[in-house]
């Protein structure tokens, strides 16, 4: 990955999930994405010693510039901080209690993710094909 003043992060995402692929595709097209290394966990086994594939598939993870690993809402905030047009969400996370609420919303989403992926997957795959 190209050096960008120590602001680089690594995002681990489930490339087998159509929802995840669609979100990552959107992030990749945004100004600021050049400081993010997007790693599809279905294609790479180099996740580091502190992240196993099951954990990586179950939850959104981000490796910060200092090498530490964060997940869930905290991981999304790390991404949003770097992307033009998304920084307002990162700023909202600074409001007392907001990160806790975002994490709660994310945890509520996780059990329905497989259902949504199954229902929306065909539509999202058509969109991916059309964009290719």
* Polymer length of the chain: 132
pLDDT of res. 18: 85
Residue range 48-57: mean pLDDT, rounded: 89
| pLDDT at residue 1, rounded to an integer | 33
3-state secondary structure of 70: strand
Query: Domain extents for the chain?
Result: 9-131
Please say if the pLDDT value at position 97 is more than 50. yes
Please state the rounded mean pLDDT for residues 12-28.
90
Q: Starting from the edge strand earliest in sequence, which strands make up the sheet with 61-63, in order?
A: 36-40, 9-13, 61-63, 69-71
Q: What is the model's pLDDT at position 115?
A: 85
């Amino acid at each position: 990955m190209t050096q960008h003043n120590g602001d680089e992060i690594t995002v681990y995402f489930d490339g087998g999930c159509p929802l995840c692929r669609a979100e990552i595709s959107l992030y990749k097209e945004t100004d600021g994405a050049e400081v993010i290394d997007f790693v599809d966990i279905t294609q790479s086994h180099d996740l580091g010693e502190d992240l196993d594939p099951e954990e990586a598939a179950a939850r959104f993870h981000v490796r910060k510039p200092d090498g530490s690993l964060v997940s869930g809402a905290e991981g999304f905030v790390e991404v949003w901080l770097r992307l033009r047009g998304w920084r307002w969400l990162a700023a909202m996370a600074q409001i007392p209690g907001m990160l806790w609420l975002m994490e709660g919303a994310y945890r509520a989403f996780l059990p329905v993710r497989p259902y949504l992926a199954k229902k929306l997957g065909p539509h999202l795959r058509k969109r991916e094909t059309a964009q290719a």
